[in-house]
Amino acid sequence: MKSLTKVTIISNLEVAPGAYVLSFPRSFEFVPGQVIGIAMNPADKPRLYSIASGNKENVVRILYTVKPEGKLTPDLARLHAGDTIYVSEPFGGFICDEQKAVWVATGTGIAPFSSMFYSGLGKNKTLIQGNRFANGLYFREDFEKEMGPRYVPSCTREQVDGVYHGRVLKYLSEKKDLDTSLKYYLCGSAEMVVDVRDLLIERGVPFENVVAEIFF
Amino acid sequence: MEETREALFGKTLSQLETVVKELELPRFAAAQIADWLYKKDVTAIEEMTNLSKAAREKLASRFEVGLSDPVKVQTSVDGTKKYLYRARNGKFIETAYMPERNRHTLCVSSQVGCKMGCLFCFTAKQGFQGNLSAGEILNQIRSLPEHHQLTNIVYMGMGEPFDNMEGVMQSLEILTSDYGFGMSPRRITVSTIGIIPAMKVFLEQSTCHLAVSLHSPFEEERRRLMPIEHVYSLTEVLEAIRSFPLGKQRRISFEYIVFKDLNHSPRHVKELARILNGIRCRINLLRFHPVPGTPLQAPDDATLEEFKTALENKGIVTTIRKSRGQDIYAACGLLSTKEQQVI
């Protein structure tokens, strides 16, 4: 792990039940899609989180959900503006260019794509975002405003106007005009990533055009 | 509903000392319990006959030994057996036993399912369903009908061992300690896809062998096969290994699954020679066995042999791992996936 630096939290807002956006001043350059390690103390083992904010913004935002059994998130959720945490330099290679492509995300797997989006890489992308409930479609308003019909929100546990009802896998499997020449970027649970990757390959997308990020 | 008591099996000596302290038993009872658990084949606390009856009753009020027999076995024509165990969360894990004349190897799982999403792996299709405790890892060894014949253990079954450091390191301590199974660390290999922080801890705290899944020397190509490359690149993995003094006994091997027309060209040979330069290691070539739904294909025998020779000509010690249990999909997580779907 890269060395850790102390940062002071600007805000730590609960954006949906159990989901938080934590922000702190940006003191490093990064490529959208990269991750940082976060720890409460310099001696702790850092946990990895994708940066969710744009690479020209003055702050770095991290999206996380509280895992009751987790080693970090219950403590993180108790922090307020002015408290400090330790962060690593950014690293990782889940990066995307300006070519037309499709982003598929579930849960907090939206973070690398929101970073790409807020960094200006969303102009010719389609974003398929899924979660169980609509309040877990993080940053939805911004995506809707900028991406219009290229943004497809979906949720599985409730029916909401303008939101596809079902899993992202189902949405893609029903899509008749799936463009097999595009690159597909996936980020979310291992199960979603593997299922969607299998589907895309089955539908004719070359496996080298399926770029998957994992949580662990 | 059946009462679940905590398992003693899988606890380290220091954890057993905490247990006996809490139960106000003599301190030496911890070593006695460890002896019963790891050196003798007891399955119940009442069999620990050098503990007083009162001590056994106290122990049994809160704990059980916690062993669990395999629930299913498939036997290959080549003698390989794939055992299915039920984990404590009700899910299933697989363990592959591979007997040979002088070597009896057990391939153990460290997680139920896996988070890593490798393109060629069937376990990935289960998603992640939980970490195994040290007791559940060791149970695969201890409850194996052939456990007295085992000579080697490899952590190459379901799951990424370094994504479950607590269970894996604790199980390694018990396997290699005098109070535990007393196994030589040279008989144990832990395989990883390259989670660097955990790998460094393993290299520092254990003396077991390390195997790293390589599969392509080119980062872009490896990324398509193994998403972990996005987070911990092969370059950084090799840098971490190079920076660690390994001594003469410890072995580093690189697992390399060969896929037809994908990762065995002269370009791959040249790049492998370049990136592994200066690391005392060997490459284990594995023939890919297609799993349902994969876009990847198996190479033929001649391709494997040619690739091996080309690597050896570059000075890299290279072996081809014999395929075992192909008729029962010994290596792919298929049996447990089917069982998870049934329950």
- Among residues B64, B80, B101, which one ends one of the domains? B64
User: Chain A contacts of B159, Cβ < 8 Å?
Assistant: none
pLDDT in tens, B109-145: 999 999 999 999 988 888 899 999 999 999 999 999 9
DSSP 8-state assignment for residue A117: I
B218 and B307 inside one domain: yes
Q: Which of A85, A98, A83, A63 is nearest to A188 (CA)?
A: A63
Instruction: With respect to residue B311, please indicate whether it lies within any of the assigned structural domains.
Output: yes
User: Chain A contacts of B231, Cβ < 8 Å?
Assistant: 35, 48, 91-94, 214
In whole angstroms, give the CA distance from residue A188 to residue A137: 13
- The SS3 call for residue B62 is helix
Residues 121-150 of A with CB under 8 A from B: none
Mean pLDDT of B282-293: 89
- CATH number of the domain bearing residue B325: 3.20.20.70
Among the four given CATH numbers 1.10.3720.10, 2.40.30.10, 3.40.50.2300, 3.40.1190.20, the one describing domain A4-88: 2.40.30.10
B193 and B279 inside one domain: yes
pLDDT for B341 equals 55
pLDDT for B131 equals 95
Structure tokens at A163: 């939101």
User: Chain B contacts of A196, Cβ < 8 Å?
Assistant: none
B33 and B79 inside one domain: no
Q: What is the mean pLDDT of chain B?
A: 92
pLDDT in tens, B221-267: 999 999 999 999 999 999 999 998 877 778 899 999 999 999 999 99
Q: Which of B332, B340, B341 is nearest to B82 (CA)?
A: B332
As assigned by CATH, the class of the A101-214 domain is alpha beta
Q: Are B269 and B296 in contact (CB under 8 A)?
A: no
Q: Mutate one of B205, B230, B232, B235 to test the A interface: name it (highest A CB count within 10 A).
A: B230
Distances (CA, A) of A175 to A161, A171, A180, A203, A209: 19, 6, 12, 10, 18
B329 pLDDT tier (thresholds 50, 70, 90) = low
B36 and B161 inside one domain: no
Residues of chain A with pLDDT under 70: 1-2
Chains A, B: CB contacts within 8 A come to: 70
B60 and B78 inside one domain: no
- A102 forms beta bridges with A126, A184
In whole angstroms, give the CA distance from residue A147 to residue A185: 17
Residue length, chain B? 343
Q: Are B126 and B336 in contact (CB under 8 A)?
A: yes
In whole angstroms, give the CA distance from residue B160 to residue B175: 19
In whole angstroms, give the CA distance from residue A158 to residue A133: 6
Q: Which of B65-69, B125-129, B156-160 has the lowest mean pLDDT?
A: B125-129
Question: Given A45, A93, A198, which is nearest B293 (Cβ)?
Answer: A198
Here the ipTM equals 0.87
In whole angstroms, give the CA distance from residue B79 to residue B128: 30
* Residue of A118 and B341 predicted with greater confidence: A118
Same fold, A4-88 and A101-214: no
- A177 forms beta bridges with none
Instruction: With respect to residue B246, please indicate whether it lies within any of the assigned structural domains.
Output: yes
Question: If you write DSSP's letter for every residue of B275-343 in order, what string do you get?
Answer: HHTT--EEEEEEE----TT-S-----HHHHHHHHHHHHHTT-EEEEPPP--GGGTTTSSHHHHHHHHH-
Q: Are B189 and B154 in contact (CB under 8 A)?
A: yes
Residues 18-57 of A with CB under 8 A from B: 35, 45-46, 48
Q: Are B128 and A191 in contact (CB under 8 A)?
A: yes
- Cβ contact, residue pair A202, B293, below 8 Å: yes
Task: Give chain A's largest Cα–Cα span.
Answer: 52
Instruction: With respect to residue B1, please indicate whether it lies within any of the assigned structural domains.
Output: no
- CATH number of the domain bearing residue B38: 1.10.150.530
Q: Give me the residue label for tokens 């739904």.
A: B293
- Among residues B45, B64, B83, which one ends one of the domains? B64
Q: Which of B28, B62, B65 is nearest to B46 (CA)?
A: B65
User: Chain A contacts of B119, Cβ < 8 Å?
Assistant: 197, 207
User: CB distance from A69 to chain B under 8 Å?
Assistant: no
B44 and B94 inside one domain: no
pLDDT in tens, B97-113: 999 989 999 999 999 99
B249 and B317 inside one domain: yes
For residue A161, give how far its alpha carbon lies from the nearest alpha carbon of chain B (Å).
30
pLDDT for B330 equals 59
Distances (CA, A) of B48 to B13, B28, B152: 16, 14, 28
Catalytic residue among B2, B24, B94, B166: B94
Q: Which of B122-131, B212-221, B309-318 has the lowest mean pLDDT?
A: B122-131
Domain locations along chain A:
4-88, 101-214
pLDDT for A38 equals 97
For residue B220, give how far its alpha carbon lies from the nearest alpha carbon of chain A (Å).
9
Structure pTM?
0.91
Instruction: With respect to residue B154, please indicate whether it lies within any of the assigned structural domains.
Output: yes
Tell me which residues of chain B have a C-beta less than 8 Å from any C-beta of chain A: 113-117, 119, 124-128, 160, 163, 195-197, 219, 223-224, 227-231, 233, 293, 295-296
In whole angstroms, give the CA distance from residue A53 to residue B309: 49
For residue A170, give how far its alpha carbon lies from the nearest alpha carbon of chain B (Å).
17
pLDDT for B334 equals 60
Residues 194-213 of A with CB under 8 A from B: 194-195, 197-198, 201-202, 206-208, 210-213
pLDDT for B250 equals 84
Q: Which residue in chain B is spatially nearest to A50 when comparing CA positions?
A: B231
Q: Which residue in chain A is spatially nearest to B223 when comparing CA positions?
A: A211
The domain of B58 spans 6-64
* Residue of B250 and B15 predicted with greater confidence: B15
pLDDT in tens, B289-312: 887 778 899 999 999 999 999 999
pLDDT for B343 equals 44
Structure tokens at B289: 């066995």
B211 and B235 inside one domain: yes
Give the full edge-to-edge strand order of the sheet including A35-39: A4-8, A84-88, A35-39, A47-50
Neighbours of B322 (CB within 10 A): 10
Q: How many domains does chain B have?
A: 2
The rounded Cα A139 to chain-centroid distance in angstroms is 10
Mean pLDDT of B158-176: 97
B36 and B164 inside one domain: no
B60 and B92 inside one domain: no
- The SS3 call for residue B228 is helix
Task: Report which secondary-structure segment, H or E, holds B313.
Answer: helix B301-313
Structure tokens at A169: 């896998």
pLDDT of residue B42 exceeding 90, the answer is yes
B15 and B116 inside one domain: no
Mean pLDDT of B320-341: 67
CA distance between the termini of chain A: 15
In whole angstroms, give the CA distance from residue A35 to residue A47: 10
User: CB distance from A94 to chain B under 8 Å?
Assistant: yes
B112 and B26 inside one domain: no
| Amino acid identity at A60 | V
